[in-house]
Amino acid sequence: MTTNIAVLVSGRGSNLQSIIDSVKIGYIGDANIRVVVSDVSDAYALARARDHGIDAVFIDPSEHSDKHVFEENILRTLKEHDVDLVLLAGYMRILGKQIIREYRNRIMNIHPALLPSFRGLHAQRQAFEYGVKVAGCTVHFVDEGMDTGPIVLQRCVPVIEDDTADTLADRILVQEHRIYPEAVKLFIEGKLKVEGRIVSVL
C-alpha cells in the first residue's frame, strides 16, 4: 500500500528536495508526497514542491487566533491528503499536541546535531562553538518535547582543521540528505519498531 507523505517546511527545502529525489528514483519505495505545508509564504521549499507537481500549501500563522486553531488547520490539511507519515524538514515551529497525538510515531524530524546534544536552533553553531571534534545529524520521531523524541538514525561528521560553523554545517547537510531518505525508506518498509525511547531496525 502506498504511504502518503506530508512534508512541513519553513525555508529553503534542501531536505525536502532529497526526499522528492529519493521518491522519484524509487529509492524510498511505495511512497507519494501528497502535500508540502509551509508556515512561511515565500519559503523556497514551496516552489520546489510546485516544480514537482506536489500540492504546496501556505498556512498563515498570523491569520489564526491561536496556536490551537492554526494546528487544527494543519491537521485538516493532512487529513484531506490522507497523510500517513509527516516529515518535518526545516519546520521552525514546535508541533502542537493534537498533531503529535494523532500521528504518534508517524512524525519524523531531521536535526543537524547528534542528539541529545545541541537541541534547538543553530545546532551546528552550538556544536562548533562548544569545540566538539565529532558533530553530526539525527533523524528522530517527534514527541511533545523539543528535539527529544526516539532516535531513528544518526550520522557522525568530523570537525576538521580550519572549519567554520558554516563549513561544518555544509558538511552535516550532505549527511542529512542521506540519512533522512534512509530513515523514511525504513519506515515505509515497516522496518522500524519503537518501544519507548528505543527504535530498532528490523
Q: Which residue has the cell 534547538?
A: 120
Catalytic residue among 52, 64, 81, 111: 111
Site for ligand GRF in 89-108 (CB under 6 A): 89-90
Site for ligand GRF in 113-172 (CB under 6 A): none
In the set 6, 7, 13, 188, which binds ligand GRF (CB under 6 A)?
13
* Residue 110 is a binding residue for ligand GRF (CB under 6 A): yes
CB of 44 to ligand GRF, least distance (A): 8
| Alpha carbons 42 and 35: distance in angstroms, whole number | 16
Candidates 7-15, 66-74, 99-107, 194-202 — which segment interacts with ligand GRF by CB under 6 A?
A: 7-15
What is the 3-class SS of 91-133, one letter each residue?
CCCCCCHHHHHHCCCCEEEEECCCCCCCCCCCHHHHHHHHCCC
* Whole-number Cα distances in Å, 79 to 10, 106, 140, 153: 20, 14, 22, 27
Q: Which residue has the cell 569545540?
A: 131
* Residue 184 is a binding residue for ligand GRF (CB under 6 A): no
117 vs 189 by CB, closer to ligand GRF: 117
* Sheet containing 85-88: order of strands: 55-58, 31-38, 3-9, 85-88, 107-111, 134-141, 151-158
Candidates 5-13, 24-32, 33-41, 49-57 — which segment interacts with ligand GRF by CB under 6 A?
A: 5-13
In the set 6, 35, 95, 112, which binds ligand GRF (CB under 6 A)?
112
Residue nearest ligand GRF (C-beta atom): 90
Closest CA to 181 of 21, 4, 3, 9: 21
- Does the annotation count 64 as an active-site position? no
* Whole-number Cα distances in Å, 60 to 10, 39, 44, 100, 155: 11, 6, 16, 20, 34
* Residue 14 is a binding residue for ligand GRF (CB under 6 A): yes
In the set 140, 168, 176, 187, which binds ligand GRF (CB under 6 A)?
176
- Site residues, ligand GRF (CB under 6 A): 11-15, 89-90, 110-112, 173, 176
Catalytic positions are 111
